[in-house]
């Protein structure tokens, strides 16, 4: 599959590197050609401008600060699947500086299938993902292709609902990051299915 990245930062490098290893063709897109080329060289892909990467990718990873996500996403042509991994964190208190970024991005790019994914773990995790890590994804369309890209990392997609629920994933990331930064460990917070329901629900 052809994948373009909008951004040449930590998330773009971590995920692009994994997808190149899995056999995909990646164009790292950046506003500065030199920085995009450095990252492309490290991951084994090619480099381009933001519009070039958006046009190149069947799937486009939006990996820029949340405050510019809507503006940057406008270069994505209709028909693409756009993965939004952004977190609009207010680092003063680990709340959200902006609500519903993925929905705002979707409204700005008609005809683009926006999927929220990969926002719940740090770039260091994506560089070396633990086998079987659950990766929640939210979207109305394009979920299967993103689920495949999750599996390419050795992780497990967790279908977390439509794009309307992406804002919950954004809030979940803020909650988790706040707990991690305070020294807590979120892994023990969620019980197994049996404990949550008494028995495993059918299906
Ligand atoms: N890092 C993590 O652990 C992590 C985890 C989950 C989610 N996220 C989210 O993923 C997104 C990317 O994070 P990151 O850590 O990869 O950030 P980063 O390393 O700071 O990279 C940000 C990228 O965005 C580009 N950029 C910034 N402003 C721009 C603008 N106005 N127009 C075009 N490009 C612009 C930067 O370009 P230049 O290189 O030209 O400055 C850079 O390539 C953020 O929304 C973040 O919340 C990050």
Distance 192 CA to ligand 1 centre (A): 34
Cα 195 to averaged position of ligand 1 atoms, centre (Å): 38
Which atom, in ligand 1's list, is nearest to the CA of 6?
Answer: 34
Say yes or no: CB of residue 32 within 6 Å of ligand 1: yes
Question: What is the per-residue pLDDT for 193?
Answer: 86
How confident is residue 118, by pLDDT bands cut at 50, 70 and 90? very high
Distance CA 14, CA 128 (A): 8
Which ligand 1 atom sits closest to the C-alpha of 123? 3
| pLDDT at 114 (0 to 100) | 98
Distance CA 79, CA 57 (A): 10
Q: What is the residue-averaged pLDDT of the chain?
A: 96
Average pLDDT in the 135-152 region? 98
Q: Each residue of 53-94: pLDDT tens digit?
A: 999 999 999 999 999 999 999 999 999 999 999 999 999 999
CATH superfamily name and code, 2-197: NAD(P)-binding Rossmann-like Domain (3.40.50.720)
For ligand 1, atom 46, the nearest C-alpha belongs to 86
CA distance 24 to 16: 9
* pLDDT bracket for residue 156 (50, 70, 90): very high
Question: Taking a C-beta distance cutoff of 8 angstroms, is the pair 3, 57 a contact?
Answer: yes
């Amino acid at each position: 599959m052809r994948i373009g990245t909008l951004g040449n930062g930590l998330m773009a490098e971590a995920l692009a590197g994994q997808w190149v290893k899995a056999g995909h063709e990646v164009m790292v897109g950046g506003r500065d050609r030199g920085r995009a080329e450095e990252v492309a060289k490290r991951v084994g892909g090619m480099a381009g401008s933001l519009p070039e990467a958006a046009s190149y990718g069947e799937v486009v990873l939006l990996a820029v600060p949340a405050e510019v996500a809507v503006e940057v996403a406008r270069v994505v042509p209709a028909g693409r699947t756009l993965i939004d991994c952004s977190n609009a964190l207010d680092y003063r208190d680990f709340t959200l500086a902006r609500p519903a970024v993925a929905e705002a991005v979707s409204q700005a790019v008609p005809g683009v299938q926006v999927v929220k994914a990969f926002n719940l773990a740090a770039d260091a995790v994506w560089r070396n993902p633990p086998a079987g890590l659950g990766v929640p994804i939210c979207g109305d369309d394009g979920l299967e292709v993103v689920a495949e890209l999750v599996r390419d990392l050795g992780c497990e997609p967790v279908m977390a609902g439509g794009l309307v629920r992406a804002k919950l994933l954004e809030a979940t990331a803020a909650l988790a990051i706040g707990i991690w930064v305070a020294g807590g460990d979120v892994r023990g917070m969620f019980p197994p299915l049996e404990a949550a329901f008494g028995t495993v629900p059918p299906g």
